[in-house]
Amino acid sequence: MPAQPSKTLESFPNPKPERDYFVQIEVPEFTCLCPLTAQPDFATLQIAYVPDQRNVELKSLKLYMWSFRDEGVFHEAVTNRILDDLVAALAPRFLRITAKWYVRGGIYTNVVAEHRKAGWLPAPPVEIPAQTTPASTRG
């Protein structure tokens, strides 16, 4: 039996919960419907998160994204709903969704929504000095 769209997001235990690391996911074929005209809207969704105890299972994410195909919803609403649903399923340290909507009526729309776990602060960036060539090896 072929897969069906689903609003269920599944997860699995983080294999390295003691470490902050980024998971980046791109969904290049997200679709939903305009709630006013019922015409299709298309977007590329970029999801970046720092997991805590759980990671999202990708097949369930694919079926979840598919579940919006026939749903009429504004860009801002669906972006924030996806953020809320992922936060509810994963309780991540950090999660950002960037929805890049394709042109409609000559206008591109990008919607960015974020979640930060209370008290979580990212580690400061590491500055790596430029590599220099020792004087003895210069021509």
pLDDT tens digits along 35-55: 999 999 999 999 999 999 999
What are 69-98's pLDDT values in tens digits?
999 999 999 999 999 999 999 999 999 999
Tell me if residue 34 is catalytic.
Answer: yes
The catalytically annotated residue of 20, 32, 34, 84 is 34
Confidence of residue 131 (pLDDT cuts 50, 70, 90): confident
Tell me if residue 32 is catalytic.
Answer: no
Q: Which fold has domain 11-118?
A: GTP Cyclohydrolase I, domain 2 (3.30.1130)
Q: Where are the domains of the chain?
A: 11-118
Structural contact between residues 85 and 113, judged by C-beta atoms closer than 8 angstroms = no
At residue 94, the 3 state secondary structure works out as strand
The catalytically annotated residue of 41, 52, 70, 85 is 41
25-63: b (≥16 Cβ within 10 Å) or e: eebeebebbeeeeeeebebebbbbbbbbebbbbeebbeb
Beta bridge partners of residue 58, listed in sequence order: none
Single out the residue of 29, 41, 27 nearest to residue 98, CA to CA. 27
pTM: 0.88
